[in-house]
Structure 1
Amino acid sequence: MLRARSDGGPAPGDIRNIVNRGRRIEIEANRKALLPIIDIVLTCGRQNIALRGHRDDGRITESEPPDNDGNFRSLVRLLVRHGDGILKEHLEKSGSNATYISKTTQNQILDCAMSIIRSHVRENIQGRFISVLADETTDRAGREQMVVVFRYATEKEGKWVVREDPVAVVDLVEEIKRTGKVSEEEEVKMSGENIGNVLTEKIKEFTGAGSATIVGCGFDGAAAMASENVGVAAVMKRDNPYCDYYHCAMHSLNLCVSACCKQPDIRGCIATIKELTSFFNMSAKRIDALRRAVKTAAPERSRTRLVSLCATRFLERHDAILTLCEMLLSVVTALEDMETWYSPDTRNKAGQLRRALSSASFLVALFALESITAIMLPVARALQAKQMDAVTALEAVQACTKVLQSWREQPDERFAEVMTKAEQAAESLGVVIKPPRCASKSVYRANAGDSDDPIGYYRVNCFLPLLSSTLQQLEQRFGERQCCRSDICSDIV
């Protein structure tokens, strides 16, 4: 010690060096043991593998327990079995309060990862123009969760790319209680003002003061979100003068398709498709009957199941319609076979569905839907593409609108193709396309046009109303306001 003091520093054998060296070795060993645990937690998060936490207490043994103790502990055990000696030694020799495998440590690792990600996003948006996207839904635990996403442009490898980064997931009810100072006894109002205040507070917590300029916000079309007077869009506009509201283009397209199906034949066709897919998909025996019918009629076809008609996703809706058009004969054959089964419920339902599929109104409506959704399908795919900008999206919608408008002006040629497909399907099913009996005054059935001419009747009462309704919805939801903004953006670019 005297020599150390006289030299002005610690000697190699000094106790401080020995203590510090032991501490450094311990730190390095702990870090090496913690690395695979961190990797497991991040892998589970990346692959959407659940980390439950309620069984993550106590030591881990190399042998499998009699009861399933969860994904995390199973993955730790897997690494130990396959040669991770450092992790194995750590689990065997560490103290019970320093194993780093508890649910508390897992949450701390996830919090650290979130901080790193948020810090990276915060650096990317520094001094940039950003848009805020938000959507809410109720999870399986009954909590109203709202996710907040920042959309912005950043430079990567010399090219500008558009990024959409989630920055927060908010328990909306609890946040409204906190920010609005609502007591436990009071009703929590999911108003635009309350949701907007929560969203604004979360944005300020993340971005800080003046770090980014918010120039746009995107929500669904609900009044509480989209209203320019009392909605979240109004709250965002009040705090950010340059922030304009945009309705999700893909959501608008889905609403167009849903709203244009009010014509009776189209509505009945969609209801029949929903009932048909539910009837087949709810029973393995019925699925097998359809598979055998498909293999008999078209052995080369790979798809042997019907697709459910999704109410909110356009791509799935078109797939359901197209699949039924291709498998119509096989479906009817399977239904005819089911009419001989022992179960009376199956027999009755199969007969009901077979008669519905063999009706002229259903066949015409089905192929009319198929022709129009086929035109809108490229638009739907374009709107869901990565890094799609507003200008390109609205240009795709306008191109689709022009095609449908040309059909509306000269419908005979297009409807002739629809009728040809419907007549071919009817011939394979052994039925004849003819208009229904029409009274002089019909309440529940359209009776415009010539009731003796099937082409004229279904063109006037089915195809043209569907076409006109689709065009009307496209013009309403992708109207002058959004097109004007698109023109401004294209001029700037």
Structure 2
Amino acid sequence: MASSTSKTTDKYFKISSVKDDTNELAPQQEEKKIHGGTTASVVSLLSSSHSKDVVTNCHVLQIIIEVIILCGRQNISLRGHVEDRGNFLAILGEVAKCDETLANHLALGDIRARYTSPKIQNELIELGGNEILSSIVESCKAAKYFVIIADECSDVSIHEQLSLCLRFLDKDLNRQLVIREEFVGFRHAESLKGEAICELLLQFLDDLGLDVQNVRAQCYDGAANMAGKFKGVQARIREIVPDANYVHCKAHALNLALINSSSNMCVRNMMATVQAIAFAFDYSAKRLLSFANENEEVQSQMQKRTKLRTLCETRWSSRTDALFTFLTSFPVIVSALEDLKEDHDDKAGQYLNAILSFEFIISLVVAQHQGLGGQGFVLPVTSASSERSFSAMRRINTYLRSTMGDVRMSSLALIHVHRDMSVNTLRVIEQFAARKTRHVDFM
């Protein structure tokens, strides 16, 4: 009986030992599983989810950038007095109607990561402008030597803005040499003294990564702070780079010569009369309506102009435009003045007598055909590119957008002026993500 009990006990302990060994092996097997295929599956799932999020985030941000670039190219203000009614969000909303991913982002996305705020807009505008600027600077560096063209002008906020353009050689698609003059931005000029502007120009070139020793010419207008023989910008630049020859803007020089050549009393009287009549029709609704009614017959000859052009003392091109418009619409002007004279407009009678005189007609025809406005001249170096950039500045920085910052205005000007240049949105996204830690991942 005892032996039977002993056998049973031994059998029990053997079974228990096997169960215990099995229980000890279970955690080890589970550990192997965790460190094996199961963990790999979790990592794979996380990686797949992250990649999907990155693709979605990049897709949304790319559309936001493209809308901002579109507004910049077309000079459409992004924000309104009320943020929700701005053009940027309105266009983005229209795009979202055809894009479910963007619609979900705008409707359900984290408010901290929608990337439509004014601060983010400014950042993306700056990056878009920098992308265009980098392309221009790379081409300029490839050419090595270049010319700087600069001018200054007040914006609507009465801040002096310095415009810089670069002139250099490049090759077109046919590998032929072409001359390029490219606007590269505005800088706020706190002082208009020659020393201050010179330092601003040198800092501008340094920020662009261009070597000032490669400057071979500099072109400005004839203002004393720019063209001064001893303390002007051109003199200070030549102290640093002796090879940087100064060229007085040929267009400004031509304008001064034309003003002096117009010292003949008949020509001066003719121009004064043209200016007075242009102002008279411009600032009187009654006279402008009379001119418009008579203007329909010759409008095609006037190149679709609906108003007379005024003269400008410093804009050489405005003279040709004003004289051409006046001469082309001469019969219309006479007819309109006759109608106004019959309507007891005393000024109209005086103007009519003046323009029907023999001296006036001869002076007008000779002045227009001899090119007193400056047409027909091939000017190799002028500051016209800077002048055109100021026209862009006035279109961008209007009275309603007068609180715009300098960086935003310069970047928008780059996008607007170089509207034909493409912007690599993927590179903008990379730079945007690399600037600082974002609420969502883009890489």
- TM-score with structure 2 length normalisation? 0.71
CA distance in 1, matches of 2:65, 2:305: 44
Superposed counterparts of 1:145-224, under 5 Å:
145-157=161-173, 158-173=175-190, 176=191, 190-207=192-209, 210=211, 213-224=214-225
3-state SS of the aligned residue for 1:307? coil
Residue in structure 2 matched with residue 139 of structure 1 by the alignment: 155
Residue 304 (structure 1) shift: 7.3
Residue in structure 2 matched with residue 338 of structure 1 by the alignment: 340
Residue 203 (structure 1) shift: 1.1
3-state SS of the aligned residue for 1:100? coil
Residue in structure 2 matched with residue 268 of structure 1 by the alignment: 269
Is the contact made by 1:41 and 1:72 (CA closer than 8 Å) also made in structure 2? yes
Residue 134 (structure 1) shift: 1.0
Residue in structure 1 matched with residue 433 of structure 2 by the alignment: none
Deviations for 1:199-237, whole angstroms, at most 9, x for unmatched residues?
1122122225x4861111111111110123111101111
Higher mean Cα deviation, 104-113 or 157-166?
A: 157-166
CA distance in 2, matches of 1:300, 1:26: 58
Is the contact made by 1:295 and 1:301 (CA closer than 8 Å) also made in structure 2? no
Give the number of equivalent residue pairs.
Answer: 349
Deviations for 1:426-457, whole angstroms, at most 9, x for unmatched residues?
xxxxxxxxxxxxxxxxxxxxxxxxxxxxxxxx
Residue 4 (structure 1) shift: 7.6
- From the superposition, tell whether residues 119 and 246 of structure 1 become closer, same or farther in structure 2 (CA, over 3 Å): same
CA distance in 2, matches of 1:94, 1:353: 67
CA distance in 1, matches of 2:212, 2:195: 24
Deviations for 1:157-181, whole angstroms, at most 9, x for unmatched residues?
32222222333311101xx5xxxxx
* CA RMSD in angstroms, aligned pairs only: 2.9
- From the superposition, tell whether residues 79 and 144 of structure 1 become closer, same or farther in structure 2 (CA, over 3 Å): same
Q: Which runs of 5+ in 2 are unaligned?
A: 1-29, 383-443
Aligned residue among 358, 361, 364 for 1:360: 358
Residue 261 (structure 1) shift: 2.3
Is the contact made by 2:218 and 2:244 (CA closer than 8 Å) also made in structure 1? yes
- From the superposition, tell whether residues 202 and 295 of structure 1 become closer, same or farther in structure 2 (CA, over 3 Å): closer
CA distance in 2, matches of 1:304, 1:153: 36
CA distance in 2, matches of 1:46, 1:270: 38
Residue in structure 1 matched with residue 371 of structure 2 by the alignment: 373
Higher mean Cα deviation, 47-56 or 104-113?
A: 47-56
- From the superposition, tell whether residues 135 and 359 of structure 1 become closer, same or farther in structure 2 (CA, over 3 Å): same
Is the contact made by 1:130 and 1:152 (CA closer than 8 Å) also made in structure 2? yes
Residue in structure 2 matched with residue 18 of structure 1 by the alignment: 45
- TM-score with structure 1 length normalisation? 0.64
Q: Which runs of 5+ in 1 are unaligned?
A: 61-68, 177-189, 384-388, 392-493
Aligned residue among 321, 329, 332 for 2:331: 329
Residue in structure 2 matched with residue 287 of structure 1 by the alignment: 288
- From the superposition, tell whether residues 25 and 154 of structure 1 become closer, same or farther in structure 2 (CA, over 3 Å): same
- From the superposition, tell whether residues 51 and 253 of structure 1 become closer, same or farther in structure 2 (CA, over 3 Å): farther
**AA aligned opposite 2:369:** S
CA distance in 1, matches of 2:117, 2:342: 59
Deviations for 1:356-400, whole angstroms, at most 9, x for unmatched residues?
212333223222312322795222xx44xxxxx459xxxxxxxxx
Residue 131 (structure 1) shift: 0.9
Residue in structure 2 matched with residue 244 of structure 1 by the alignment: 245
**Structure with the larger RCO, 1 or 2 (CA within 8 Å, 6+ apart):** 2
Is the contact made by 1:306 and 1:320 (CA closer than 8 Å) also made in structure 2? no
- From the superposition, tell whether residues 51 and 193 of structure 1 become closer, same or farther in structure 2 (CA, over 3 Å): same
